[in-house]
Structure 1
Amino acid sequence: MRTLTKPWRVALAALLLLNISLPAFADSRETVDESRNVAGNEKIYLEVMSGEITIKAVNSNQFKIVGKLDEKATGYTLESADGFTRFEMTMPRQINYRGSEKSNAADLRIEVPIGSSIEFKGVNSDVSLSGITGGSNIGTVNGTISAVELANLVQLSTVNGEINSKDNSGQITLSSVNGKITDVGSSGRLDYSVVNGEIKARTSAEEVTVSTVNGDAKLKMTSTKQLKLSTVNGEIEAELANSVSPRISGSSVSGDIELKLDINVSARFDIKASAGGSIDNKLSDDKASKAKYGPARSLQFTLGSGDGSVELSTVSGDVELDKL
């Protein structure tokens, strides 16, 4: 059997000691492990400037937060009394992030009662939350929001990021600037808005409002009764199934609206186009008429008994009506 010489034994021991000590140097973030007994309908305020934050509703009257703070954090505050709980990760007043430093951002997992309401504020924060029925108001600047099975009043907003929404219900507002919104399985009342972004949605909400500026929207709706559309320099494609007498209104400026409806739709149609806009009607044999003076066009007709209404207008854009 070969034995190691003394120099080799010393080198091996030093290497082992270095490997043992590496984790301590690799992660200097402060650890958080806190819990509080709270009300089932607790009002919870969270402020985490940067990091990955997961918020999960659980069937217990407890607020719990575990994980690690941002490497640059100076600490945190946690206050809980009289139905209100507040957690804030404290940071230096002026701080700049680089891409290589994101790995040392906060990593926090939070549990809250199912019936609680949540308000979250962040800057470079990615937020995932699920199961909260008391209401959720989530805002971040440079981050992604993922939300599943939220209820009541739901407000999700980001500036430079995406929103992924699934199976949420209630009064829902989703807004993004320079980002994308994806919504699947939502119900209730919905308000989508993007600037320089994109919307993709499949929903059964009764009321839907869509607004885009320099952005596009593709919507597949079922049983929606009221629909409002607005776009500037964008394009909206809307399919509305299982809605015989919807109430639809919309406008575009240098943008296009394509609307597809059930073949048995019953509604009065009033479509207007000006400044070079066009109208393409594939729902019936009715054709748009041109104004006596100027480039304006208009189209009025009725399908079925005219129980619903469709009022669309465009300036320098196109309106297309088609069958599903």
Structure 2
Amino acid sequence: MSNVIKLVLLLMALVSTISYAGDSVNKTLALNGASKVVIENQRGKVNIIESNDENVSVQGELDDKAQAFIFEHSGATIIIKVEMPNNQRSWRNDNGSNLTIKIPNHVRVSFSGVSSDVNIEGFKQGVDIKTVSGEITASHLNNIIDINSISGDIESKALSGKIQISTVSGDLEDKNSSGRVFIKSVSGGVRSKSNASEILVETVSGDIDLKLAAVDELDISTVSGDNQTYLSLNENGSVKLSSVSGDFDIKFANNIEANFRLKTNAGGSIENMLTLDKAERGKYTPNEKLNFTTGNGNGSVKATTVSGDIKLSKL
């Protein structure tokens, strides 16, 4: 084959992977051993779902302001990228991309965007999802999962493995997760109905509403957000609660056997409805403390707050 023919074929292959503003896209690449797919779409909507074969496909329409669309292999990675101009002011009053991407479910997926909404479901090898203001919907994902949005809401369902979900001002709702879950929010509200055995929740002012199964470890830290939690504590399990002014309302579903250490420091109150033990109030300072043990005391429940209230009860 002559060098001229080779050059022509190379140019044809390159052109086949590049599309432009507002174009319809219907492209497919064989996986060919790739273990990761990296997707970048600045705005619009992206639906990422599992495929039924060993191909990666992209269908839909590109952003009106797109400069190019790249869909190519790079070593063990497939790159899907909608290239946009650097001047974001020119993006206004135009439609973003609307894409459906199908990927084999044994491939790890990474997505990044600015105002792009993303729905992702059905992957076994974990995902890494980041947006600024876009909303994220994630379901039936396994392994190492990292989901992050600044102001967009996050909704997750049936995640399993080592899970980290974080937002600044968006609301976060998690359903039926399992494994180890770390949830972080600044001012967004947190709601979780989880089967996870280990749960860590951090907020600044966002309220927390947890409905948990049997846990080995629960750690909640907040500044001013209020917290309501329903849970069962496993044998030798641990609960740690801390706040500045946030209130804790903890309801236990089982006959908990644990050592309790509860303390408020500047005006908060302790209400114990598990036993007849009552909190002691400081003689010279408006603090309260309460230490008691139930059953064999193998578990541990520690709660401290500066001015918030602590309430313990049974379901």
* Partner of residue 229, structure 1: 220
Matched, 1:122 2:101: no
* Partner of residue 7, structure 1: none
Q: 1:36 aligns with which of 26, 29, 39?
A: 29
Matches within 5 A, 1:235-314: 235-241=226-232, 243=234, 245-314=236-305
Larger CA Rg, structure 1 vs 2: 1
Q: Retained in 2: the 8 A contact 1:42–1:117? A: yes
* Partner of residue 139, structure 1: 130
In structure 2, what is the Cα distance between the partners aligned to 1:200 and 1:209?
13
Q: What is the percentage of aligned positions where both structures have the same residue?
A: 36
Q: Retained in 1: the 8 A contact 2:233–2:254? A: no
Matched, 1:316 2:307: yes
**Letter aligned with residue 277 of structure 1:** G
Matches within 5 A, 1:1-324: 29-39=22-32, 42-96=35-89, 100-101=93-94, 104-241=95-232, 243=234, 245-324=236-315
Deviation track 1:58-83 (CA, whole Å, cap 9, x = no partner) reads 23221111111110111122221432
**Letter aligned with residue 268 of structure 2:** G
Q: Secondary structure at the match of 2:249?
A: strand
Deviation of 1:162 after TM superposition, in Å, equals 0.7
Deviation track 1:101-120 (CA, whole Å, cap 9, x = no partner) reads 3xx11001101111100111
**Letter aligned with residue 38 of structure 1:** L
In structure 2, what is the Cα distance between the partners aligned to 1:89 and 1:191?
31
Q: Retained in 2: the 8 A contact 1:222–1:243? A: no
TM-score for both structures, normalised by structure 1: 0.87
Q: Which moved more, 1:90-99 or 1:277-286?
A: 90-99
In structure 2, what is the Cα distance between the partners aligned to 1:302 and 1:109?
55
- Aligned residue pairs total 295
- Runs of at least 5 residues in structure 2 that lack an aligned partner in the other structure: 1-20
Q: Retained in 2: the 8 A contact 1:144–1:158? A: yes
**Letter aligned with residue 83 of structure 1:** A
Runs of 4+ in 1 over 2 A off after TM superposition: 96-101, 241-246
Q: Retained in 1: the 8 A contact 2:216–2:233? A: no
TM-score for both structures, normalised by structure 2: 0.90
Q: Secondary structure at the match of 2:147?
A: strand
Q: Retained in 2: the 8 A contact 1:256–1:317? A: yes
Deviation of 1:178 after TM superposition, in Å, equals 1.2
